[in-house]
Amino acid sequence: MKRLRMLYSGMSNCIFCKIIAGEIPSKKIYEDDEIFAFHDINPAAPVHFLVIPKKHIENVMELEPEDTMLAGRLLHKAQELACEQGLQEKGGRFVINAKSHGGQTVDHLHLHVLGGRALGWPPG
Ligand code: 5GP
Ligand code: ZN
């Protein structure tokens, strides 16, 4: 039974799989069969949420051709939710950090959406 639950709730040691499974609480914004979105616990801007695939893909470097539709949906859903969160007029930033040089700290693919203030560029 425990093993079965593990299979359904994704990678057992991944915090974002646990958030998807409801084992770690989050401020959920959106959920469907493939995608989950929630507010970042440590917001770097007035609006800061994460859009993630339910499928455990470690990072953008691990995307396979079969993930093309999912990746496109992820980006489009991020845009829709950004509009709902009030970013339509002034925009914001859509960011994917990857591996060590990208500053990735959670090894489950996630798209950051930030906005609500002017954001600096380039990153440090
Ligand atoms: P990364 O640095 O990997 O691109 O981004 C990971 C993001 O996940 C960080 O912005 C961090 O604040 C957020 N985060 C880490 N743990 C949790 C958590 O348990 N809940 C939520 N809502 N966000 C988290
Ligand atoms: Zn995961």
pLDDT reading at 7 higher than 50? no
Peptide bond into 123 cis (omega under 30): no
Pick from 71, 81, 72, 66: which is nearest to 109 by CA?
Answer: 71
Q: Is 110 a catalytic residue?
A: yes
Judge contact between 1 and 11, C-beta under 8 A.
no
pLDDT level of residue 1 (50, 70, 90 thresholds): very low
Q: How many angstroms does the Cα of residue 105 sit away from the middle of ligand 2? A: 12
Pick from 49, 24, 20, 21: which is nearest to 35 by CA?
Answer: 20
Q: How many angstroms does the Cα of residue 11 sit away from the middle of ligand 2? A: 5
Chain-wide mean pLDDT for the chain? 93
Pocket of ligand 1 (CB under 6 A): 15, 24, 26, 38-42, 97, 103-106
Q: How many angstroms does the Cα of residue 5 sit away from the middle of ligand 1? A: 24
The span from the CA of 59 to the CA of 43, in Å, is 21
pTM given for the model: 0.94
Judge contact between 55 and 36, C-beta under 8 A.
no
pLDDT in tens, 80-107: 999 999 999 999 999 999 999 999 999 9
The CA distances from residue 28 to 35, 63, 90, 108, in Å, are 11, 24, 23, 17
Q: Which ligand is nearest to the CA of 43?
A: 1
Collapsed DSSP state (helix, strand, coil) of residue 76: helix
Q: What percent of the chain has pLDDT over 90?
A: 89
Amino acid letter, residue 115: G
pLDDT at 8 (0 to 100): 45
- For atom 18 of ligand 1, which residue has the closest CA? 41
Q: Which of these ranges, 10-14, 18-22, 50-54, has the smallest mean pLDDT?
A: 10-14
